[in-house]
Amino acid sequence: MSCKEPVERLAKLHEVFTQGNTGLGQRTLPLERQSAQATYPTYRENVRWTMGDVVFLTLSLPAPRQVVPRTAPR
């Protein structure tokens, strides 16, 4: 496994799930992205939406250590 694969997979997930301001289901829901605030332009993963009286949210919580090895691939 190449050390680039996890980074490439993460890039693909970002491409698919952080575009637009509506959900991806059959019934699209309006999403509020934290990146809409001028102070947080890069936080596209952090999203909230409301359904009825319930507020849902997603947060990106990076691990303290990265999954990509710091050494060069063999």
* Distance, CA of 72 to CA of 16 (rounded, Å): 29
pTM for this prediction: 0.64
pLDDT at residue 43, rounded to an integer: 86
- Please answer whether residues 7 and 68 qualify as being in contact, where contact means their C-beta atoms are separated by less than 8 angstroms: yes
Q: Which residues pair with 58 in a beta bridge?
A: 47
Q: From first to last of the 74 residues of the chain, give the pLDDT tens digit.
A: 555 788 888 888 888 888 889 988 888 889 999 999 999 888 888 999 999 999 999 988 777 665 555 555 55
